[in-house]
Amino acid sequence: MNKHLRSASILLALALPSISFAEQESQIALSAGAFEVFDDNTAAEVGVEYRFAPQKSAFNLIPTLGATLTSDGGYWGYAGVRYDFYLNANWILTPHFAVAAYEQGGGVDLGYDIEFRTGAELAYQFSDKSRLGLGLYHLSNANLGENNPGAESLILSYSF
C-alpha cells in the first residue's frame, strides 16, 4: 500500500466516528435506582447528569457532570466521560468513567473523599433522540484510602 493511500485511510478512519456522531446534542439525564445493590445496606438513589454534546475528535468522548443523592444521606458530585457504541439504530451501549467527590452522610463509608465511578449503560434511543437506559456502575476510591469497600448501583435513567 502506498504512503498516500495509507495516510488517507488513517484520516478517514479517524473522521468516521466524528461524522457518525455529528448530530448528537447535549442531554439531561434523570436517574433512580439502588445504591449498594449487592449489599445488605441497599439505599435508594436519585441522580441528575448533564451530558455535553460529543467532542468531535477521533474518540467522540461525551463529557459529563452529575450529582447523586441516596436515601441514607450520602451524596456525590462527579465529572467524567462517556462513549456511545451504537449496537443498531436504537440500542446504545455506553461505558463511562468519572471522578467523584463523595460524602457518606448516614450511609456507607467508602474510605476516602475522592471516588472513581466506572460502569456501563444499555439504552434504547427513541425517534426524538431521548433514551431510556439501565445502568450498573461501581464507586471506589481505587485504594487511595486505607479502607476501600466500594459500592455498586443499579439505575434506570431517562435522558432528553
- pLDDT tens-place string over residues 76-117: 999 999 999 999 999 999 999 999 999 999 999 999 999 999
Q: Confidence class of residue 140 from pLDDT cuts 50, 70 and 90?
A: very high
The b-or-e profile of 71-96 (16+ CB within 10 A means b, else e) is: ebebbbebebbbbbeeeeeeebebeb
- Span 3-159: which CATH code? 2.40.160.20
Q: What are the start-end ranges of the E strands in the chain?
A: 27-35, 43-51, 62-70, 75-82, 85-86, 91-103, 114-125, 131-140, 151-159
The three-class DSSP label of residue 73 is coil
**Mean pLDDT of all residues in 32-59:** 93
Structure confidence at residue 57 (pLDDT): 77
Structure confidence at residue 20 (pLDDT): 45
The structural domains of the chain, with segments of one domain joined by +, span: 3-159
**pTM score:** 0.83
Length of the chain: 160
| Plot region of 73 (φ>0 → left; ψ -120 to 50 → alpha; else → beta) | left
Residue type, 31: S
Structure confidence at residue 27 (pLDDT): 98
Q: Tens digit of pLDDT for each residue in 48-77?
A: 999 999 888 778 899 999 999 999 999 999
On whether the CB atoms of residues 80 and 99 are closer than 8 A, the answer is yes
Main-chain dihedrals φ then ψ at residue 92, nearest 5 degrees: -130, 130
Above pLDDT 90, what percent of the chain? 79
Position 14 pLDDT exceeds 90: no
